[in-house]
């Protein structure tokens, strides 16, 4: 492998992080609004929405991602293996993201077909862009501390994307469409598509691939797949990633229903008014006049701000105690504050906000570590087999992400339907309200807790991290 400096400039770390900011303008919108868009804006039934999200999502997870992983590992250009994929898919990803959230005037059957086609292409281009982008983090540097640092930059960028989507986007959609959410979301997605495309191009221009396998380390697809099956840490990370994103999709997609149908609007308006007045006094008037949209935005803002605080602590904790131990500990603590939502009365707005803030802080510590652990698994595979197959290793993350997003989003709409939820109804039944409460608390807690248990079988601890890094440096020299 090429032995050049493994240190990264701040410019390169920022440039790399912009790629995830762009991808998350799409991903966070899918996670937060896709179910709501299909049921309450586009006009599909909860059952049809659930089927589309599940089937298309699983096809993307288990077919698109492995194929892209195999192809990316076998790409060879003057720009490297993975950067060309970011360049080629930047514009198509932006275009199809806009189409997926458009509302053409078709018959109901036509709408279903349109949703299937656009969602399929969106997930295809997302995989073709984001899987090579993620794999790029495994070849930019082999230095574990630099990798942890880059992950922190990257996920601060993710939080900025999440902040916009979850804090401001619902209010902007309603405002941009003058109350017509279909028009509003098309306008917003147009801007996001343009901005995201530019950011991905910057990522391509500012990054460099430093870990380049020697020709004699090339392997067949059969060898790569054989390595994966024998790689227990990879299998655990595949399962863990799926579980994490089931939770994120379920609770993330359910909060908007929670605020529109359960939270007491009068108490919410009273609670947030002093906050809005304070923000207005310093020129921040971006939450709109709708108390639900404003409250939903501020609720997410509190969680995201403290996630960013948690992210800033992540690197030092991971360096000192090891990724596995830090990830498992804080994932468990964050789950307790998800469970708490089931017990809050509709008018107990302070506790709802406090629980979100504490969940955000403790979960934030885990966010960069998950992706850094996947890079460690790629190193473990090279250390064990003396062959490096970065993209197919990272396909675990993408398979888990897509499968989790699909299962979590599908469960959200499926369970809403089973609890007799009626889209756009001013009054929901007690059964529907209880279902919405379960969807933001008990149900999403289960995958997180199972994930904590899986980490007991993940053997790449702090001691092994150091050994792998040292042995690979010696080989590369």
Residue range 268-293, pLDDT digits in tens: 999 999 988 888 887 766 666 788 88
pLDDT at 3 over 60: no
What pLDDT was estimated at residue 135?
Answer: 83
State the average pLDDT for the chain. Answer: 88
d(CA 80, CA 136) in angstroms, rounded, equals 10
Mean pLDDT score, 72-76:
85
Counting every residue written for the chain, the total comes to 477
What pLDDT was estimated at residue 396?
Answer: 64
pLDDT in tens, 149-201: 887 788 788 878 988 898 888 888 888 888 788 999 999 999 999 999 999 99
């Amino acid at each position: 492998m090429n032995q050049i400096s493994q240190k990264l400039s701040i410019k390169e770390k920022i440039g790399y992080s912009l790629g995830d900011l762009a991808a998350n303008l799409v991903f966070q919108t899918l996670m937060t609004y896709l179910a709501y868009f299909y049921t309450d804006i586009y006009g599909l039934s909860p059952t049809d929405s659930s089927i589309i999200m599940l089937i298309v999502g699983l096809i993307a997870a288990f077919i698109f991602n492995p194929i892209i992983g195999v192809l990316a590992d076998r790409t060879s250009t003057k720009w490297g293996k993975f950067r060309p994929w970011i360049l080629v898919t930047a514009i198509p990803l932006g275009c199809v993201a806009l189409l997926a959230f458009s509302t053409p005037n078709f018959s109901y059957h036509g709408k279903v077909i349109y949703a299937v086609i656009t969602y399929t292409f969106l997930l295809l281009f997302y995989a073709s862009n984001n899987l090579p982008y993620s794999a790029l983090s495994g070849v930019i540097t082999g230095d574990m501390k630099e990798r942890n640092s880059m992950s922190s930059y990257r996920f601060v960028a993710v939080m900025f994307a999440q902040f916009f989507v979850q804090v401001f986007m619902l209010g902007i959609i309603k405002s941009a469409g003058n109350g017509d959410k279909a028009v509003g979301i098309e306008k917003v997605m147009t801007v996001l598509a343009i901005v995201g495309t530019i950011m991905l191009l910057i990522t391509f221009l500012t990054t460099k691939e430093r870990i380049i396998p020697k020709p004699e380390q090339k392997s067949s697809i059969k060898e790569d797949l054989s390595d994966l099956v024998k790689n227990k840490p990879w299998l655990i990370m595949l399962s863990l990633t799926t579980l994490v994103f089931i939770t994120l999709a379920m609770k993330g997609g359910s909060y908007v229903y929670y605020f529109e149908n359960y939270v007491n609007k009068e108490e919410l308006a009273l609670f947030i008014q002093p906050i809005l007045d304070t923000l207005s006094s310093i020129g921040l008037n971006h939450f709109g006049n709708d108390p639900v949209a404003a409250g939903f935005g501020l609720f997410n803002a509190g969680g995201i701000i403290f996630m960013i605080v948690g992210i800033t602590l992540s690197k030092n904790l991971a360096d000192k105690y090891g990724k596995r131990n830090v990830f498992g500990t804080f994932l468990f603590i964050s789950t307790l504050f998800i469970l708490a939502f089931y017990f809050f009365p509709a008018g107990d707005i302070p506790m709802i906000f406090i629980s979100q803030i504490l969940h955000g802080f403790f979960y934030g510590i885990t966010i960069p570590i998950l992706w850094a652990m996947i890079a460690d698994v790629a190193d473990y595979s090279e250390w064990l087999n003396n062959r490096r197959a970065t993209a197919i290793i990272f396909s675990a993350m993408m398979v888990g992400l897509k499968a989790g997003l699909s299962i979590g989003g599908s469960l959200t709409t499926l369970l809403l339907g089973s609890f007799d939820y009626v889209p756009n109804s001013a009054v929901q039944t007690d059964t529907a309200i209880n279902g919405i409460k379960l969807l933001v608390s008990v149900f999403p807690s289960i995958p997180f807790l199972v994930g904590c248990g899986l980490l007991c079988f993940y053997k790449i601890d702090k001691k092994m991290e150091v050994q792998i890094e040292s042995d690979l440096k010696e080989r590369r020299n």
